[in-house]
Amino acid sequence: MRFMGYIAQWRSAAKEALDRTAITVNFLCWLHFTSNYVCSPCHAYGVSMLPTLNVTGDILLADHLSPLLGNVGHGDLVLVRSPLNPKIRLTKRVVAVEGDTVTYFDPMHSEASQVAVVPKGHVWIQGDNIYASRDSRHFGPVPYGLIEGKVFFRVWPPGSFGLLDQ
């Protein structure tokens, strides 16, 4: 009799463990889904986006649906996987899209302005602070497929909480 009691106890414990695991897995999958297809927080720091974003690091919300729908255009702040190091992500502004002619000025390398044409399927990204930003002026136009999200909302610092004006 005691043996049967143990079995029943063990079964209920196993069932509970299984239920908890299922809930956790489900939760993690939802987390993955929302952060990859809906929106996710991201942290941007550095001087390259002054004066739009602060040096100390802003917490932003990026929407991941717009790049999938092809809804990224001039002036949007985007989250881009760096073409030079795939492990890091950059926050920059889209200056030109495919087919556009860009006239840019790189104070670090030359005094004269240069002209480039953005090829098909690429975008031209630049930081707002042109004096301290490594962007398309350095590595050329980036493929649209590297865009991971469109930044639309600022969460931190609390003083500038709200939608980012494009």
Partner 1 sequence: MGSSSFLWNCTKKFVTAAVITVTVSDRYVTVVPVRGGSMSPTLNPKTGSLMGDVFDDYVLVEKFCLWKYKFSNGDVVVFRSPTNHKETHIKRIAALPGEWYHTHDKSDVIPIQSGHCWVEGDNSASSIDSKSFGPIPLGLIRGRATHVVWPPQRIGAVKSTPPQRLCSALE
140 DSSP 8-state letter: -
Stretch that binds partner 1, among 5-13, 29-37, 41-49, 107-115 (CB under 8 A): 29-37
**Residues taking part in catalysis:** 48, 92
Alpha-carbon distances of 151 from 17, 52, 76, 88, rounded to whole Å: 40, 12, 8, 16
Q: Could you say whether residue 116 binds partner 1 (CB under 8 A)?
A: no
Q: Is 165 exposed, middle or buried (CB count within 10 Å of its CB: 0-12, 13-18, 19+)?
A: exposed
Give the shortest CB-129-to-partner 1 separation in angstroms: 23
Interface with partner 1 (CB under 8 A), residue from 13, 17, 18, 25: 25
The answer to whether 87 contacts partner 1 (rule: CB under 8 A) is yes
Under the binding rule (CB under 8 A), the answer on residue 29 touching partner 1 is yes
Cβ at position 76, least distance to partner 1 in Å: 15
Residues that bind partner 1 (CB under 8 A): 25-26, 28-30, 32-33, 36-37, 67, 70, 81-87, 119-122, 142-147
